[in-house]
């Protein structure tokens, strides 16, 4: 079973990434950052975690306000470095632990946390700024894989401190019930005190930062009771993002061993580092098995439904590239390129030979079995002039005529904006009737 070996909390200010890239490790102004990071770096090197569940907030880079989620879990296989406006840092992407992520996502949803899920989104300095200074990379890349958990703390209303703490407790259940032997570290980032906007920009509170470092270790319940306004008053509005540290703390046992705590205020943000080793007792009896049964309860029996394939996180990851290609049919330029030269379009999208073949043959049933969600089929159908009813019939292995005999009316339709095509379908049906 997976084991949480400890928790890490660290600031994610871009200052860290800047100092790392500019090789400022020995510079008197920057050296204290790396001195305080060294015990964390050493602890990670010694513990060699198989995966890090990484709690952070995106800085309106990959996530924008057209769709802003409270909790978004990364379920993909890899995460690239985001361009935040000045170019991409010279760092490799990092591998995701998709299997653990899927398990965590299912567990959290079963515990009534309404998660959103993401793939194919690069990570900004909220992730790569501290990680570039904490993980030792080799020619083969990073030494571990990650499950990123993005918390929306920039657009109010945001999750409460209590909700973050409860999510951490649910995260513990999720990780400990994962059936593979993994060593997992839960890492939370953000803060400490700072404010970067308005007339209050530049605010810091060193006393509060030290009190917070002590309380997150010894009295997280008191921190969970605080309001956003109280956090903002003590640590600045942007500094209120330290509620994410409660998610890490909730994932650990009540009693923890503090093996490192550090602090430095070089400029705008109090940079804190904290390492807590878990003292959790192994779950008693069949607790983990019961939790996995709890996770499976909602879809228990669905496997007996003939011709029914719930679109889950595994399908979403496996068929992401093909679903993305078909989803792009909503773009006129993509549609035109596909119709003009499908093979070139396939190649530019990087489709596999199997994926190309499924689209070429309009294998509607095969596409579903591969992991394509139906609503991408109807988009493809709209582009190639195939009605929804033709697709339904093909999935059932029936002729259109036989399928229509099972309907109350013999009408054809699609999601295409071309009403003329629908009229031609209806005329064709009338002639064949």
Where do runs of H (alpha helix) occur along 115-160? 125-134
Q: Is 194 noted as a catalytic residue in this protein?
A: yes
Nearest one of 417, 407, 412 to 432, comparing CA atoms: 412
Q: Are 167 and 108 in contact, with CB atoms under 8 Å apart? A: yes
- Cβ-based burial of 366 (10 A; exposed 0-12, middle 13-18, buried ≥19): middle
The β-bridge relationship of strands 145-151 and 183-189 is: unpaired
Q: How many helices (H) and strands (E) does the chain have?
A: 20, 10
Mutual orientation of helices 31-47 and 14-21 as an angle, nearest 10°? 90
Q: Which of 20, 97, 125, 334 is catalytic?
A: 125
- Measured CA to CA, the distance from residue 250 to residue 26 in angstroms comes to 36
Q: What is the CA radius of gyration of the chain?
A: 25
What count of other Cβ atoms lies within 10 Å of the Cβ of residue 211? Answer: 15
Categorise residue 130: left if φ over 0, alpha if ψ from -120 to 50, beta otherwise. alpha
Mutual orientation of helices 374-384 and 332-340 as an angle, nearest 10°? 60
Nearest one of 329, 416, 418, 404 to 372, comparing CA atoms: 329
- Measured CA to CA, the distance from residue 380 to residue 63 in angstroms comes to 27
Q: Which of 20, 103, 194, 390 is catalytic?
A: 194
- Measured CA to CA, the distance from residue 236 to residue 233 in angstroms comes to 6
- Measured CA to CA, the distance from residue 134 to residue 147 in angstroms comes to 17
Q: Is 125 noted as a catalytic residue in this protein?
A: yes
Task: Please give the positions annotated as active site.
Answer: 125, 194
């Amino acid at each position: 079973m997976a084991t949480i070996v400890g928790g890490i909390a660290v600031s994610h200010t871009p200052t860290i990434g800047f100092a790392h890239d500019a090789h400022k490790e020995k510079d008197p102004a920057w050296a204290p950052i790396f001195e305080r990071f060294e015990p964390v770096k050493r602890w990670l090197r010694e513990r060699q975690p198989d995966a890090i569940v990484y709690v952070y907030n995106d800085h309106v880079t990959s996530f924008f306000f057209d769709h802003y989620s409270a909790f978004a879990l990364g379920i993909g296989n890899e995460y690239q470095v985001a361009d935040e406006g000045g170019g991409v840092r010279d760092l490799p992407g990092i591998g995701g632990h998709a299997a653990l992520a899927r398990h965590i996502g299912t567990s959290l949803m079963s515990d009534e946390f309404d998660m959103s899920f993401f793939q194919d989104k690069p990570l900004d300095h909220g992730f790569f700024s501290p990680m570039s200074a904490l993980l030792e990379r080799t020619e083969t890349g990073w030494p571990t894989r990650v499950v990123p958990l993005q918390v929306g703390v920039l657009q109010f209303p945001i999750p409460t401190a209590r909700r973050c703490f409860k999510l951490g407790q649910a995260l513990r259940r999720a990780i400990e019930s994962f059936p593979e032997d993994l060593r997992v570290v839960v890492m939370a980032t953000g803060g400490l005190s700072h404010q970067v906007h308005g007339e209050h920009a530049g605010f810091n509170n060193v006393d509060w930062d030290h009190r917070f470092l002590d309380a997150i270790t010894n009295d997280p319940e008191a921190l969970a009771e605080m309001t956003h306004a109280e956090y903002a008053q003590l640590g600045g509005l942007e500094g209120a993002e330290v509620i994410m540290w409660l998610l890490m703390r909730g994932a650990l046992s009540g009693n923890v061993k503090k093996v490192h705590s550090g602090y430095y205020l070089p400029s705008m943000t109090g940079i804190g580092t904290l390492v807590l080793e878990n003292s959790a007792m192994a779950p008693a009896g069949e607790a983990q098995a019961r939790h996995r049964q709890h996770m499976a309860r909602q879809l228990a029996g669905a496997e007996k439904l003939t011709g029914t394939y719930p679109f889950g996180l595994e399908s979403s990851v496996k068929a992401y590239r093909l679903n993305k290609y078909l989803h792009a049919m909503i773009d006129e330029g993509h549609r035109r390129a596909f119709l003009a030269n499908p093979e070139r379009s396939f190649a530019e999208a990087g489709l596999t030979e199997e994926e190309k073949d499924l689209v070429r043959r309009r294998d509607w049933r095969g596409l579903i079995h591969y992991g394509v969600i139906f609503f991408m089929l109807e988009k493809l159908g709209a582009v190639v002039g195939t009605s929804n009813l033709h697709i339904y019939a093909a999935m059932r292995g029936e002729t259109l005529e036989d399928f229509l005999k099972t309907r109350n009316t013999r009408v054809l339709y699609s999601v295409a904006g071309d009403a003329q095509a629908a009229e031609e379908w209806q005329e064709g049906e009338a002639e064949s009737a």
